[in-house]
Amino acid sequence: MNEFRIEIYLKFTAVFIRNLFVSLINSYMKSIYFIALIVLANLTLSCSTYLAKTPDGKKIDKRLVGSWKGTETNQQEFGVKKDWVVTRNEDGTYSIKFTSTDNENNVSETQYDGIWWIEKGDFYEMDLINKKTDVYEYLVENENQVKFRIKSIVMEMNNEAYIFVDTRIIAPEGMSFENAIKVNSVGEEYEYIKKKCEGCQVVMQALSEHNKKPFDILTVKNAKGEQINYYFDISSFFGK
C-alpha cells in the first residue's frame, strides 16, 4: 500500500514539475519575444530617425555629432592614462586629440583627423594618415553619453575587450550653434553682449548657416584682449 502511494506521489510530482517547467519556458520565450520586439523597434526608429547621409554618400548617426570627451587607464597601453576630446562633424569628418600621462607623470599629446560613418549598425572611423579603419559596436545610452566596444582595431590594445564611453561636452549658453541664443532682432544680440560681457567690444558680425538654420556670430574682444564668439539663432526674423 505504501509503495502504491509513493508511486502515485512520484507520478504527481513529475507531472507538476513538467507543467511548471513548460510554464516557465513559455514565459521565458514570451519575454524574449517582447524584448526582441523592443530592440527591433528601437533599431527601426534609429534607422529612420537618426541616420543621415554625408556628401560622399556614407551614413552617419546624427546622435554622435558634436564634441565629446573621455578617459581611460591601462586600456590602450599599460601604465598610461589617456584623455581625449573628439569632434564629429555632420559631413563625416572628425578630429581627436589625445593627452597621455604615464606613471612618471610624463605628458604627451597627439592629434588625428579622419572620417567616420555607420555601416550595418557599427561605427567606423579611419584616420587620414594611415588610411586604416577601426570598427566599434556602439550604444547611445542617452543624448549625452555613447558607449563603444572594440570590434576590429588596427593598433594593439592592452585590453582586447576595450570598452569606453564618450561624454558630450556641453558648451555654455551662446558658445556654440547647439546652444545659440534665440533672438527676435539684431538689437537683442547687442543688448545681450552688453549685459553678458561688460566692457567688451564687438569686432565682427558674421552670418552663418547650420543645419539649414541662420545664425549670427558676434566676435567680441574683452578687457584682456581675448576674442570670444557668441552665437545667436535668428531664424525667427531672418529673411522674413
Cα–Cα–Cα angle for 80, 83, 86, rounded to 5 degrees: 140
**Is the predicted pLDDT of residue 124 greater than 60, yes or no?**
yes
Compute CA 96 distance to the chain's CA centroid, rounded to the nearest angstrom: 14
**Grid-cell match 526674423, residue found:** 237
Do 44 and 65 lie in one domain? The reply is no
When pLDDT is cut at 50, 70 and 90, the band that residue 139 belongs to is very high
Domain that holds residue 189: 181-233
Do 83 and 19 lie in one domain? The reply is no
Contacts of 212 (CB under 8 A, 6+ apart): none
**Is the predicted pLDDT of residue 182 greater than 90, yes or no?**
yes
Give pLDDT, residue 212. 86
Q: Among 132, 79, 126, which Cα is nearest to 101's?
A: 79
Do 74 and 29 lie in one domain? The reply is no
Percent helix, percent strand, percent coil in the chain, to nearest 5? 25, 45, 30
Cα-Cα-Cα-Cα torsion 134, 140, 145, 147, nearest 10 degrees, comes to -40
Once rounded to an integer, what is the mean pLDDT over residues 204-222? 93
**Is the predicted pLDDT of residue 11 greater than 70, yes or no?**
no
- With beta carbons less than 8 A apart as the criterion, state whether 20 and 12 touch: no
Average pLDDT, the chain: 84
| Residue 238 in domain | no
Residue 43's CB: how many other CB atoms inside 10 A?
11
**Grid-cell match 597627439, residue found:** 110
pLDDT digits (tens, 9 = 90+) for 27-57: 555 555 545 544 554 554 444 588 999 988 9
Do 31 and 65 lie in one domain? The reply is no
Q: Report the distance separating Cα 234 and Cα 186, nearest Å.
A: 8
When pLDDT is cut at 50, 70 and 90, the band that residue 210 belongs to is confident
Q: Looking at per-residue confidence, does 41 or 175 come out higher?
A: 175
pLDDT digits (tens, 9 = 90+) for 89-98: 989 999 999 9
Q: What's the 3-state SS for 127-138?
A: ECCCCCEEEEEE
Q: Among 75, 92, 68, 64, which Cα is nearest to 155's?
A: 75
| Residue 208 in domain | yes
**Is the predicted pLDDT of residue 24 greater than 60, yes or no?**
no
Once rounded to an integer, what is the mean pLDDT over residues 125-131? 91
**Is the predicted pLDDT of residue 173 greater than 80, yes or no?**
yes
How many structural domains comprise the chain?
A: 3
| Residue 164 in domain | yes
**Is the predicted pLDDT of residue 73 greater than 90, yes or no?**
yes
Bridge-based pairing state of the strands 181-182 and 227-233:
parallel
Do 45 and 63 lie in one domain? The reply is no
